[in-house]
Amino acid sequence: MRIKPIHLALALVGLVLGLLLSVQFRVTRDTMKFPQVHRVKTMADKIHDARAERDSKQEQINKMREELDKEAAGAALGALKEELVDARIESGLTGVSGPGIEVTLNDSNLEVKNGGNPNWYVLHDEDILKVLNELRAAGAEAMAINNQRVLSTSEVRCTGPTILINRNQRIAPPFVIAAIGNQDTLINSLEMRNGVIDSLEPWGIQVSIKKVSRVEIPPFPGSISFDYARPVPEEQK
């Protein structure tokens, strides 16, 4: 039997059909692989890596600080060392302790009244900021929220039910604000009539203040860098 053009045409049709079928099969199989799931997994891996890197860097920082302390312990550097200690307390790089108060804030346990906005019954970043501000005004020397040091550069940001502080350290209620300073002044500043606590209590926000004879305030965990601000030369002051 001779091979006629008709046979070649049939082979060609078969070839094209096979090609179409298999390519389509592959495309469909690739679609079924859920690219989103894959993406989420890579993102999670990336976050995990970044966390591990952050932790190792933190360890490095701690080690280098220790070394620095050892170096500074030399007798010849006595005066400089004192200055350094003062500067570090001031900048929050050293943990400090002393008499002070602890303010515990928690979301309201009242039921939301009919037509009431549930937002009124939870703590917001503004409430925390108000308390911090009042404590600062009353002369608090060092403050921390949930063991996160509060510096002049610390942000307090709202992210849903949690609050971010110190470059995105996440803290959740109850918020314990520790402050070192004159205990009576601090407490009076908060309990002032029409003050910050008066403004929170109608919504049932739970506030409790207690005097603590020895408040421990941890050091700022990160480093403080000034990329833009430069000291002004003496003569220009």
Partner 1 sequence: MWIGVWLAALGLALGIALGLNLPFTVPQAYAKYMSVAVLAAMDSVFGGIRAAMEEHYDNRIFITGFFSNALLAAGLAFIGERLGIDLYLAAVVAFGVRLFQNLAIIRRHLLKK
Secondary structure of 14-30 in the HEC alphabet?
HHHHHHHHHHHHHHHHH
Position 1 contacts partner 1 (CB under 8 A): yes
Q: Which stretch binds partner 1 (CB under 8 A): 21-29, 83-91, 122-130, 221-229?
A: 21-29
Task: Identify which of residues 2 and 214 has a Cβ nearer to partner 1 in the complex.
Answer: 2
Decide: is 87 part of the binding site for partner 1 (CB under 8 A).
no
Q: Is 9 in the site for partner 1 (CB under 8 A)?
A: yes
**Binding flag, residue 36, partner 1 (CB under 8 A):** no
Amino acid symbol at 85: V
Instruction: Work out how close the CB of 6 gets to partner 1 at its nearest, in angstroms, rounded to a whole number.
Output: 5
Q: Is 20 in the site for partner 1 (CB under 8 A)?
A: yes
Position 202 contacts partner 1 (CB under 8 A): no
Contact status: 24 vs partner 1 (CB under 8 A) = yes
30 forms part of the interface with partner 1 (CB under 8 A): yes
State the minimum distance, in angstroms, from the CB of residue 39 to partner 1.
15
How many residues of this chain bind partner 1 (CB under 8 A)?
28
Tell the smallest beta-carbon distance from residue 36 to partner 1 (Å). Answer: 13
Regarding 6 and contact with partner 1 (CB under 8 A), the answer is yes
Q: Contact positions toward partner 1, by CB under 8 A?
A: 1, 3, 5-28, 30-31
